[in-house]
Amino acid sequence: MHVPEATRLATLASLLADPTRAGMCLALLDGRAWTAGELARHTGVGAPTVSEHLTRLVEGGLLAQERQGRHRYVRLADETAAQLVESLAAHAAPVPDGERPRTLRAVRAGQALARARTCYDHLAGRLGCAVTEAMIRRGLLTRETGFALTDAGLAWFAEHGVGLEQRGRRPLVRACLDWTERRQHLAGVAGAALCRHALAAGWCVRSGSGRALRVTEQGETAWRELLGIDAEALG
C-alpha cells in the first residue's frame, strides 16, 4: 500500500520523466517567461503537444502561467521549482560520448552555458562557481553549516550598492548544486541581487535568447578588482 507522500513524489517525478517537459523546464531556468510558441520551437514539437505538456506542468505546480492578449506565458513557479530542476540535472548521469553534440553550433552553445549562465535568477556555470568560491576565500561567505553571509559579506554588498531586500520566506543565501560544474554556487536573495547587479552594470550580457551569459571586458575588470577572479578561470 502506497503512503500519500510516496504517491505525491511519484506524481511529481512523472512530470519530469518526459524529455519534452524536462527540456521546457531547463529552458525556463533562464528566469524569464516564455510563450507556448517559443517553447514549441525550442523543443521541436507541435503546438497542441506543447499545450498538453504545459497544462500538466502548471497543474503539477512546477510552472505558473499568465495570459496577455492572445499569448499564454509560462515560467517556473518559484525558486524552489528552479532548484529542483537544476539539482536533478546535476545528479543526472553524464552524457555518453556517442550522444554528445556533433554540430559546431550545438558544441558552442553547450560551451557558452558551461562558462556562464543564469540559473533561474542567479549566476551559474564557471562564473557562478568562481564568484562563490572567491567570496568564501575572502571571508564574505561561509559554508561551515550551510551557506551564510559573514558581517564582512554584508558590508561588501552594501559597499558596492547591491541591495539585499528580503521578501517572504526566501533565504538570504542558499547553496545550489551547479549541473555543469558539479559544485555549489550562490543562490537565494543575495545570489539574485548579485546577478541583477551584474546585468545592470554591464558586467554580463545575455548571449542570444537563452540562459547563456557573456562576461564583458568591463565585467572581467570588475570581477578581478572586486573578487580577484581572473578571466582565465572563466574560459
CATH number for position 18: 1.10.10.10
pLDDT tens digit sequence for 91-117: 775 555 545 555 656 556 678 888 999
Q: Looking at residues 120-130, what average pLDDT do you find?
A: 93
Residue 214, pLDDT score: 92
Q: Identify the domain boundary among 77, 108, 142.
A: 77
Q: Looking at residues 173-199, what average pLDDT do you find?
A: 91
- Same-domain pairing of 49 and 142: no
- Same-domain pairing of 124 and 187: yes
Structural domain contains residue 142: yes
Q: Retrieve residue 64's grid coordinates.
A: 505558473
Question: What is the torsion angle, in degrees rounded to the nearest 10, for the CA atoms of residue 135, residue 138, residue 140 and residue 145?
Answer: 80
Structural domain contains residue 158: yes
- Same-domain pairing of 113 and 218: yes
Q: Identify the domain boundary among 32, 48, 77.
A: 77
Structural domain span for residue 149: 97-234
> Distances in Å between the alpha carbon of 46 and those of 18, 23, 179, 221?
15, 14, 28, 45
Residue 72, pLDDT score: 80
pLDDT tens digit sequence for 41-66: 988 989 889 999 999 999 999 999 98
Residue 66, pLDDT score: 86
- Same-domain pairing of 101 and 72: no
- Same-domain pairing of 200 and 107: yes
Q: Tell me how many domains the chain contains.
A: 2
Q: Looking at residues 204-211, what average pLDDT do you find?
A: 80
The mean of the pLDDT values for the chain is 86
Structural domain contains residue 106: yes
Say yes or no to pLDDT of 71 above 70. Answer: yes
- Same-domain pairing of 63 and 164: no
- Same-domain pairing of 101 and 162: yes
Structural domain contains residue 87: no
Residue 219, pLDDT score: 94
Cβ distance 184 to 135 under 8 Å? no
Cβ distance 88 to 97 under 8 Å? no
Q: Retrieve residue 180's grid coordinates.
A: 555543469
Percent of the chain with pLDDT over 70: 90
pLDDT band of residue 235 (cuts 50, 70, 90) is low
pLDDT tens digit sequence for 214-224: 999 999 999 99
Q: Identify the domain boundary among 43, 77, 111.
A: 77
Structural domain contains residue 72: yes
Structural domain contains residue 86: no
2: left (phi over 0), alpha (psi -120 to 50) or beta: beta
pTM over 0.85, yes/no: no
pLDDT tens digit sequence for 131-178: 999 999 999 999 887 899 999 999 999 999 998 987 778 889 999 888
- Give the burial class of 61: count Cβ atoms within 10 A of its Cβ; 0-12 exposed, 13-18 middle, 19 or more buried: middle
